[in-house]
C-alpha cells in the first residue's frame, strides 16, 4: 500500500517493545518491504520511525512508546497521517557516522551512583538499534545491563558524504537532522545538564562543567599584602585539581582537597585570606561560623549545629552527584570546638562529640565530595590530631608575620586612596616605613596608618571651649612622615616586637666598662650575635652569662640583646612568674619560645635562670619539670629560615653544671666582680659623685695600703648612690668605710682617717 494513510495512535503492546524504539504496526497495513514510516501530525511536523510488526496491534493503529509519544507530541487515539519512508541506498549522506546522545535517568527518584561504562553501552546500543532511523531531538528508553533505566535524547547527528571518495578526497562530514544508524556508526554519550548519572569510559562525550574560579575575579585586587607565597601554595594544593576537567582527575586517580587550616599569630590576615578565597571561587555563598557559636547548652544541639552546616551540601550531593556545586564552610577560631579529644575537663564530653561529628562529615563513611572546610586558629597545638591528617584539614598553612616586601605591599594597600586623592605627603617613604615596622602584623600596619591619619586630622582641630574644625581642612589635610613616626613611637607597638621597657629598666645605669672582663664579654657577645644572624649557621645560638651576684650580668645581656637589632626581643624573667605553678611556668616559657619562632630573627633573654628553676640552697630543691622544659627548648632548633639567639644569666654555675645544663649552651661567658683598685677607680671616675680631688684621695688610700677589692658593680653603684647623700667633706671616708664594713675592700691594718 503506497500513499498517505489515516491511522490512529495507540500504545505499544509490550514493555519489551517500548525499549526497542520501534513503532508497532499490523503487517496487513503495509507492504512487506516497509521498514520505516513518516508520521505527519501537522504542517512542518514530520517524524520518522522504524517499524516492527506485531499481530497484537489492531489494523489502522500505530503503537508508540511513552517517550515516542512525548517526542512527537502524540496523544492516544489521535488521528495521524502515515506514509512509508524509504532511505535511498545511493544517497550516503542519509547514513549516520556519528550520533551524540544525552543521558539521564528516566526516573529521578533515588538515583544510583554506580558508574555506567560508556564503552559497553556503545556495543549494547549498536546491537539493539543498528538499522533504525534517528532524528535530532528524538527520545528513547535504554536499558543497560541490570542498572536503572535511562533516557537517551538525540543531541547531534553527523553524516559523511562518501561520494568524495570517488575523486580521492576525504569524505565531507556535516551535521544532519535525520539519518540511519549503521553497525559502524560512532556513538557518544554525554551527561544531560543537571543529571547525576555517572558516566565513565572513552565513549563519554564532553561533560557540562562550570569553572571553579569566578570569571570576574581579579587576582591583582585581592587586597592581601605579603601573602603571595602562601596564597600560591593554597591554590596549588586545594584548587588546582578543581580547575581541571573531572575526567582528567579520574585518569590520574586524584581526589580534591576538602579542608584547609590557616594558623598563625593574631592579625596576620587569616580571616582576610579565607574571605578572599570564598569570593574567588565560583561557589555557593560561604558559611562563616565562629567556633563558639556551635556550642549549645542543650544535649545534642552542638552536634546538630554541625549537621545543619552540611545539610545543603548533603542535599545537593544526593540530587546532583558529581555535578554538585562547591560548598565552602569557614570556621573562625576552630580551636574552640576542635580541642584534642579527652583534653577538656568535666564529664559532658561535648567537645569530643562535636569533633567526632565534624570528622564524620568531612571524611566519614558518608563523606561529602562537594565541600571545602576552611579553619582558622591562633592555637594549632590545641586542635585534635585526627582533624589534621590527609583527607581532612590536610592543607595546613602558617600565615606568619610579613617580611619587608610584604609590609610594603600592605602599606601600599592601605594608602592607595590617600595617594589617589593626594592626601599623602611627598615626604612619606613607604619603603622606609616598611623597614621600620619590623615584626608588625598586617592588622598592626593598618592600625599604624589609622594612627597617622588621626594625628594628621588632630592638627586641624581647634580645641577651645568648643571643638572646631578648620574650615579649610579638606584642602589642608595631609598625612606626613612625622605623623607616621609619631604613631610608631607612641601609638602602635607590635605584639611580637622588642620588650623595650624591660630592656630600658635593665639598662637604667648604662654599661660601665670598668675593665677587660666587661670588654671581653661584649666582644664575644657580638661575635655570637653575628653567628646567630649568619645564614649558614644552624639557626640557634645560646649563650650563658655567669658570674657572682651583682656582677652586672643582666645589664650586659640586655645590652647585647639591644645591640643585636633583632626585631623580636623578649625577656623571660622570674619576676613575671611569681606564684605560678610548675605547669603554668612551663607554658609561659614555651609561649615565649613559640612566639620567637614566628619572627625571622629573634632574641630571648632568660634572666636569673636558677630562680626560674625554683632552686634553693637549703635542701637543695629545684623544679625538675621546668628544668626539663628549658633543656628541651634550649636545644630545639627554630623552623627553617628562622634564627634564634638565647641569652641566659645565672649566679650559680656549679648548680647548672650539677643539673647537666651547661651542655645545652653554645658558649659560657664569665663576668667576674671588680677585683683590682683600678677597676674601682674606673667606676668612680665615671660617676659625678666624687670630685677629682676625692678620686685622687681614694686612689692614694688604695695604693698605700695595697688594698684588695672584691665587689660587684651593682653593689658598688649602690654605695656610690649612698655617698651622694653624704656631706662632701665626709664622702670619701664614708664610702671607703662602707666598702670595708661590707667586706668588699681590704685595706690591711691601716685605719681610714
pLDDT at 220 over 60: no
Distance CA 638, CA 622 (A): 27
Q: What is the dihedral of CA 85, 91, 97, 102, to 10 degrees?
A: -30
Q: Could you tell me which residue, 309 or 368, shows the higher pLDDT? A: 309
Q: Which residue has the cell 586623592?
A: 421
Q: What is the mean pLDDT of the chain?
A: 82
Please state the rounded mean pLDDT for residues 201-205. 73
- 156: how many CB neighbours lie within 10 A of its CB? 15
- 260: how many CB neighbours lie within 10 A of its CB? 24
Q: Which helix or strand (DSSP H or E) is residue 628 part of?
A: helix 624-635
Please state the rounded mean pLDDT for residues 64-85. 91
Dig out the grid coordinates for 470 from the structure. Answer: 578648620
**∠ CA(715), CA(716), CA(722), 5° rounding?**
90
Distance CA 74, CA 82 (A): 13
Q: Which helix or strand (DSSP H or E) is residue 634 part of?
A: helix 624-635
Q: Which of 85, 174, 183, 165 is closest to 126 using CA atoms?
A: 183
pLDDT (tens digit, 9 = 90+) per residue, 610-627?
Answer: 888 888 887 778 888 989
Distance CA 330, CA 346 (A): 28
pLDDT (tens digit, 9 = 90+) per residue, 627-647?
Answer: 999 999 998 888 888 889 999
pLDDT at 62 over 90: yes
Q: Which residue has the cell 586641624?
A: 460
pLDDT (tens digit, 9 = 90+) per residue, 651-681?
Answer: 989 988 888 889 889 899 999 988 888 888 8
In angstroms, the Cα distances linking 504 to 17, 136, 501 are 96, 87, 5
Q: Which of 93, 298, 332, 105 is closest to 199 using CA atoms?
A: 105
Residue 155: the pLDDT is 92
Q: What is the dihedral of CA 116, 118, 123, 124, to 10 degrees?
A: 30
Q: Could you tell me which residue, 455 or 462, shows the higher pLDDT? A: 455
Residue 201: the pLDDT is 79
- By the 10 Å C-beta count (0-12 exposed, 13-18 middle, 19+ buried), 394 is classed as middle
Residue 1: pLDDT band by 50, 70, 90 thresholds? very low
Distance CA 110, CA 23 (A): 30
Please state the rounded mean pLDDT for residues 461-465. 64
pLDDT (tens digit, 9 = 90+) per residue, 267-294?
Answer: 777 777 777 777 777 667 778 877 667 7
**Helix/strand/coil for 592:** helix
Residue 141: pLDDT band by 50, 70, 90 thresholds? very high
Please state the rounded mean pLDDT for residues 572-587. 88
Beta-sheet pairing, 96-105 with 186-191: parallel
Q: 337: alpha, beta or left, given left = phi > 0 and alpha = psi -120 to 50? A: alpha
Side-chain-side CA neighbours of 13 within 13 Å: the count stands at 12
Q: Could you tell me which residue, 481 or 732, shows the higher pLDDT? A: 481
Give the least confident one: 72-81, 495-504, 657-666: 495-504
Dig out the grid coordinates for 401 from the structure. Answer: 608575620
Distance CA 615, CA 222 (A): 54
Q: Which residue has the cell 563558639?
A: 292
pLDDT at 344 over 60: no
pLDDT at 132 over 80: yes
Residue 63: the pLDDT is 93
Please state the rounded mean pLDDT for residues 160-173. 69
- Radius of gyration in angstroms for the set of CA atoms belonging to the chain, rounded to a whole number: 43
Residue 595 DSSP label: H
Is pTM beyond 0.75? Reply is no
Residue 750: the pLDDT is 47
Q: Which residue has the cell 578543581?
A: 242
Residue ranges with strand state E in 43-120: 45-53, 61-64, 79-85, 96-105, 115-117
Please state the rounded mean pLDDT for residues 253-258. 79
pLDDT at 522 over 60: yes
pLDDT at 265 over 60: yes
- Length, in residues, of the chain: 753
In angstroms, the Cα distances linking 656 to 552, 592, 631, 648, 660 are 19, 21, 11, 12, 6
Which spans in 240-371 are helix H?
Answer: 240-243, 246-252, 270-280, 291-294, 301-320, 350-363
**Helix/strand/coil for 658:** helix
pLDDT at 206 over 90: no
Q: Which of 552, 560, 577 is closest to 503 using CA atoms?
A: 560
Q: Which of 139, 283, 311 is closest to 215 using CA atoms?
A: 283
Yes or no: say if 233 and 370 are a contact pair by the CB < 8 Å rule. no
Dig out the grid coordinates for 343 from the structure. Answer: 583534653
pLDDT (tens digit, 9 = 90+) per residue, 352-380?
Answer: 777 777 777 777 666 677 788 888 888 88
pLDDT (tens digit, 9 = 90+) per residue, 14-42?
Answer: 888 889 999 999 988 888 788 999 999 88
CA-based end-to-end distance of the chain: 154
Residue 479 DSSP label: B
Distance CA 714, CA 726 (A): 19
Yes or no: say if 299 and 433 are a contact pair by the CB < 8 Å rule. no
pLDDT at 414 over 90: no
Residue 305: the pLDDT is 80
Please state the rounded mean pLDDT for residues 312-336. 76
Q: Which helix or strand (DSSP H or E) is residue 156 part of?
A: strand 150-161
Residue 493: the pLDDT is 80
- Helix 442-458 to helix 404-414 angle (10° resolution) is 50
Distance CA 696, CA 275 (A): 74
Dig out the grid coordinates for 380 from the structure. Answer: 594549632
Residue 640: the pLDDT is 84
Residue 236: the pLDDT is 80
Residue 223: pLDDT band by 50, 70, 90 thresholds? low
Please state the rounded mean pLDDT for residues 256-266. 83
Distance CA 451, CA 492 (A): 8
pLDDT at 297 over 70: no
pLDDT at 210 over 60: no
Please state the rounded mean pLDDT for residues 598-611. 88
Dig out the grid coordinates for 460 from the structure. Answer: 586641624
Residue 162: the pLDDT is 66
b/e code 192-229 from CB counts within 10 Å (16+ = b): beebbbebeeebbbeeeeeebbeeeeeeeebebbbbee
Yes or no: say if 376 and 218 are a contact pair by the CB < 8 Å rule. no
Residue 470: the pLDDT is 65
- By the 10 Å C-beta count (0-12 exposed, 13-18 middle, 19+ buried), 136 is classed as middle
Q: 660: alpha, beta or left, given left = phi > 0 and alpha = psi -120 to 50? A: left
pLDDT at 320 over 60: yes
Which spans in 95-226 are helix H?
Answer: 118-129
Residue 135: the pLDDT is 92
Residue 474: the pLDDT is 67
- 352: how many CB neighbours lie within 10 A of its CB? 16
Q: Could you tell me which residue, 471 or 405, shows the higher pLDDT? A: 405
pLDDT at 59 over 50: yes
DSSP-based helix, strand, coil % in the chain, nearest 5: 40, 20, 35
Beta bridge partners of 616: 621
Q: Could you tell me which residue, 74 or 697, shows the higher pLDDT? A: 74
Amino acid at each position: 500500500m503506497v500513499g498517505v494513510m489515516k491511522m490512529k495512535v495507540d500504545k505499544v503492546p509490550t514493555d519489551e517493545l517500548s525499549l526497542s524504539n520501534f513503532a508497532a504496526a499490523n503487517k496487513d497495513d503495509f507492504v512487506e518491504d516497509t521498514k520505516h514510516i513518516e508520521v505527519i501530525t501537522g504542517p512542518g511536523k514530520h517524524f520518522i520511525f522504524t517499524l516492527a510488526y506485531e499481530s497484537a496491534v489492531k489494523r489502522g493503529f500505530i503503537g508508540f512508546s511513552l517517550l515516542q509519544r512525548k517526542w512527537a507530541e502524540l496523544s492516544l487515539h489521535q488521528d495521524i497521517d502515515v506514509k512509508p519512508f524509504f532511505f535511498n541506498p545511493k544517497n550516503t549522506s542519509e547514513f549516520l557516522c556519528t550520533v551524540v546522545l544525552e543521558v539521564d535517568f528516566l526516573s529521578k527518584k533515588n538515583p544510583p551512583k554506580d558508574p555506567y561504562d560508556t564503552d559497553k553501552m556503545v556495543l549494547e546500543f549498536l546491537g539493539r538499534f543498528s538499522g533504525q532511523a534517528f532524528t535530532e531531538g528524538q527520545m528513547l528508553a535504554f536499558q543497560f545491563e541490570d542498572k536503572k533505566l535511562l533516557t537517551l535524547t538525540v543531541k547531534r547527528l553527523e553524516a559523511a558524504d562518501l561520494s568524495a571518495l570517488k575523486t580521492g578526497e576525504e569524505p565531507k562530514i556535516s551535521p544532519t537532522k535525520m539519518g540511519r544508524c549503521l553497525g559502524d556508526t560512532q556513538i557518544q554519550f554525554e551527561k544531560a545538564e543537571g543529571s547525576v548519572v555517572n558516566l565513565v569510559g572513552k565513549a563519554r562525550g564532553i561533560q557540562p562543567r562550570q569553572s571553579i574560579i569566578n570569571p570576574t575575579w581579579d587576582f591583582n585586587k585581592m587586597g592581601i599584602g605579603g601573602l603571595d607565597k602562601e596564597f600560591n601554595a593554597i591554590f596549588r594544593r586545594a584548587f588546582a585539581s578543581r580547575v581541571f576537567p573531572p575526567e582528567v582527575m579520574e585518569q590520574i586517580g586524584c581526589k580534591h582537597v576538602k579542608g584547609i587550616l590557616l594558623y598563625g599569630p593574631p592579625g596576620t590576615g587569616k580571616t582576610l585570606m579565607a574571605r578572599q578565597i570564598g569570593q574567588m571561587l565560583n561557589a555557593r555563598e560561604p558559611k562563616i561560623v565562629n567556633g563558639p557559636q556551635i556550642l549549645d547548652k542543650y544535649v545534642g544541639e552542638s552536634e546538630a549545629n554541625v549537621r545543619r552546616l552540611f545539610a545543603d551540601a548533603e542535599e545537593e550531593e544526593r540530587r546532583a552527584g558529581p555535578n554538585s556545586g562547591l560548598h565552602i564552610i569557614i570556621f573562625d577560631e576552630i580551636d574552640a570546638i576542635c580541642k584534642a579529644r579527652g583534653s577538656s575537663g568535666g564529664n559532658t564530653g561535648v567537645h569530643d562529640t562535636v569533633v567526632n561529628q565534624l570528622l564524620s562529615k568531612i571524611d566519614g563513611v558518608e563523606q561529602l565530595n562537594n565541600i571545602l572546610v576552611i579553619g582558622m586558629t591562633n592555637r594549632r597545638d590545641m586542635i585534635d590530631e585526627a582533624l589534621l591528617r590527609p583527607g581532612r584539614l590536610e592543607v595546613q598553612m602558617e600565615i606568619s608575620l610579613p617580611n619587608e616586601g610584604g609590609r610594603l605591599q600592605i602599606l601600599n594597600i592601605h594608602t592607595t586612596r590617600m595617594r589617589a586623592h593626594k592626601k599623602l605627603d611627598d615626604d612619606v617613604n613607604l619603603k622606609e616605613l616598611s623597614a621600620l615596622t619590623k615584626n608588625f602584623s598586617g592588622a598592626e600596619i593598618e592600625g599604624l596608618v589609622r594612627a597617622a591619619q588621626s594625628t594628621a586630622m588632630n592638627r586641624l582641630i581647634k580645641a577651645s571651649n568648643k571643638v572646631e574644625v578648620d574650615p579649610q581642612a579638606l584642602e589642608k589635610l595631609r598625612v606626613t612622615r612625622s605623623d607616621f613616626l609619631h604613631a610608631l613611637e607612641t601609638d602602635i607597638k607590635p605584639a611580637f616586637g622588642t620588650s623595650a621597657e624591660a630592656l630600658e629598666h635593665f639598662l637604667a645605669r648604662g654599661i660601665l666598662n670598668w675593665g677587660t672582663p666587661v670588654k671581653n664579654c661584649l666582644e664575644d657577645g657580638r661575635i655570637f650575635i653575628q653567628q646567630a644572624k649568619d645564614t649558614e649557621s644552624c639557626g640557634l645560638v645560646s649563650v650563658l652569662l655567669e658570674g657572682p651576684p651583682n656582677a652586672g650580668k643582666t645589664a650586659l645581656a640586655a645590652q647585647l640583646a639591644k645591640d643585636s637589632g633583632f626585631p623580636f626581643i623578649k625577656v623571660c624573667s622570674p619576676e613575671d612568674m611569681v606564684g605560678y605553678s610548675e605547669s603554668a611556668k612551663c607554658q609561659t616559657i614555651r609561649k615565649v619560645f613559640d612566639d620567637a619562632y614566628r619572627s625571622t630573627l629573634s632574641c630571648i633573654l632568660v634572666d636569673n635562670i636558677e630562680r626560674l628553676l625554683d632552686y634553693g640552697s637549703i635542701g637543695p630543691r629545684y623544679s625538675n619539670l621546668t628544668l626539663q622544659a628549658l633543656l628541651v627548648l634550649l636545644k630545639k632548633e627554630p623552623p627553617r629560615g628562622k634564627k634564634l639567639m638565647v641569652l641566659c644569666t645565672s649566679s650559680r654555675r656549679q648548680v647548672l653544671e650539677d643539673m647537666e645544663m651547661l651542655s645545652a649552651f653554645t658558649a659560657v661567658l664569665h663576668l667576674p666582680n671588680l677585683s683590682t683598685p683600678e677597676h674601682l677607680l674606673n667606676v668612680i671616675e665615671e660617676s659625678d659623685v666624687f670630685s677629682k680631688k676625692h678620686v685622687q684621695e681614694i686612689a692614694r688610700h688604695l695604693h698605700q695600703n695595697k688594698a684588695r677589692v672584691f665587689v660587684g658593680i651593682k653593689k658598688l653603684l649602690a654605695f656610690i648612690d649612698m655617698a651622694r647623700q653624704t656631706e662632701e667633706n665626709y664622702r670619701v671616708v664614708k664610702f671607703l668605710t662602707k666598702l670595708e664594713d661590707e667586706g668588699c675592700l681590704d685595706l690591711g691594718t691601716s685605719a681610714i682617717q
